[in-house]
Amino acid sequence: MANEVCFKNHHLDKPWTLQAYQSTGGYDVWKKILNKKTQADEIISELKTSCLRGRGGAGFPTGLKWSFMPRNAPGEKYIVCNSDEGEPGTFKDRDILRYNPHALIEGMAIAGYTMGASVGYNYIRGEFWEPYEHFETAVKEARAAGLLGKNILGSGIDFELYTHLGGGAYICGEETALLESIEGKKGQPRFKPPFPASYGLFGRPTTINNTETLASIPSILQNGGKWFLEIGKPNNGGAKLFSVSGHVNKPGNYEVPLGTPFAELLEMAGGMRDGNKIKAVIPGGSSTPMLPGDVMMDVNMDYDSIAKAGSMLGAGSVIVMDEKTCIVKALARISYFYYEESCGQCTPCREGTGWLSRVVNRIENGAGRPEDIDLLLDVSKKIEGRTICGLGDAAAMPVSGAIKHFRDEFQYHVDHKKCMVSAA
């Protein structure tokens, strides 16, 4: 079982066109909702049944999130799609935008209807020019077919959809930083509360969902929440896109049921490159703690199983590292990323990410001091939970994860001023 939700049209010729999308029942759900004026509660209840959890990384139940919106409150409300894909290892939303943009458009329209919003924004990272063009073309097609705009298909319902392009900042994937960015400001996360559902974009109630989450909605409502749930497993409904990269033969996106054994996913991705042994896996994007390869070989790919193994499913961004990988070097690169991308607003993150990056870097370059490994753990602890948004935690978790499982490599670097892997 693969490619049943966001990738279900992948086998078609030009799957991004309106014609291809409609050939597999695309926009049927939207038309039915417009025609029957389906109750919002009914839609939300179906989503709750499906156990769809946010695909951007946090895994928050989508049905519950939608229920927070004051949909009958007067005035404008907004639906925002987070296509600011940028967590290292993640490249799934790019393919949804390129190959199945109409599923996202239909999902956003349904979201707008359900939550009483007549305007939606899709925030696409600025570097994604080709995906942006595909998405814009699809929006034009949908508008021309009368599926977006004013009084859609004579229903009296309006929904307009716009794209906002980012300017290069990982932090804008944090939902309130993203809102700031649509408001034309620096992408610095907001204090919460108030949460976006009460005070969001332009000060109005707003719900932000990830691209994959929204693109999954039409299939769920087409086939029923139970259908989706049963693809996966309890509390981990549906299929999920896994972006597999690193030392595998066939890196790429694989849409498989949640709960699929990692070993199977690895096999789909062509197995290990050059016949090397697997050493470590980052299961959910660079912010999630890495796990030893042998642990991963016994883990299933769902939120609960990965959590039990000591990491997180995140956005399903699986980075595979073989036996020749220096863990210290890998961590140095990841730590530099968070240092580079910290918005600078909170002291523990602004200063702490710099400390992490500099200390890992000096260990990597043979200048590590005996106390450095514990220093890293100490700095990590002092960042975690002390910042406005999750970037601080995201910087800290890979550090403590790498040291937990590969402390000997860090120690070897410190003691011998060289790498254990290349020395072997």
To another protein, the closest distance from the beta carbon of 333 in angstroms equals 5
Spatial neighbors of 322 by CB under 8 A, at least 6 apart, are 246, 247, 272, 273, 274, 276, 277, 278, 279
Asked if residue 170 binds another protein (CB under 8 A), the reply is: yes
Q: Which amino acid is located at 178 in the chain?
A: L
DSSP 79: E
Total chain residues near another protein (CB under 8 A): 56
Helices (H), 78-210: 92-99, 101-115, 129-144, 175-182
- In angstroms, the CA 245 to CA 228 distance is 26
CB-wise, 131 or 259, nearer to another protein? 131
CB-wise, 4 or 76, nearer to another protein? 76
- Contact between residue 71 and residue 206 where contact means Cβ atoms under 8 Å apart: no
Q: Name the 3-class secondary structure at 279.
A: strand
Contact with another protein (CB under 8 A) among 128, 135, 262, 303:
128
- In angstroms, the CA 388 to CA 16 distance is 38
Contact with another protein (CB under 8 A) among 53, 55, 233, 247:
247
Nearest to 105 by CA among 128, 77, 130, 83: 83
Burial of 292 (0-12, 13-18, 19+ CB in 10 A): middle
Asked if residue 267 binds another protein (CB under 8 A), the reply is: no
Specify the stretch interacting with another protein by CB under 8 A; choose among 37-45, 120-128, 382-390, 412-420: 120-128
CB-wise, 83 or 305, nearer to another protein? 83
Q: Name the 3-class secondary structure at 258.
A: coil
To another protein, the closest distance from the beta carbon of 273 in angstroms equals 9
Show the binding pattern over residues 298-317: x = contacts another protein (CB under 8 A), - = does not: -------------------x
Contact with another protein (CB under 8 A) among 108, 110, 182, 291:
182
Contact with another protein (CB under 8 A) among 243, 300, 342, 345:
243
Cis status of the peptide bond prior to 194, with omega within 30 of 0: yes
CB-wise, 45 or 163, nearer to another protein? 163
Asked if residue 159 binds another protein (CB under 8 A), the reply is: no
Half-sphere exposure of 326 (CA within 13 A, CB side): 20
Q: Name the 3-class secondary structure at 235.
A: coil
CB-wise, 91 or 410, nearer to another protein? 91
Contact with another protein (CB under 8 A) among 9, 62, 82, 90:
90
Asked if residue 390 binds another protein (CB under 8 A), the reply is: no
To another protein, the closest distance from the beta carbon of 337 in angstroms equals 6
Contact with another protein (CB under 8 A) among 54, 59, 89, 401:
89
Asked if residue 164 binds another protein (CB under 8 A), the reply is: yes
Q: 163 pairs with which residues across the strands?
A: 122
Site residues for another protein per CB under 8 A:
76, 85-91, 93-94, 121, 125-130, 162-170, 181-187, 202, 243-247, 251-253, 282, 286, 317, 319, 321, 325, 329-330, 333-334, 337, 340-341, 343
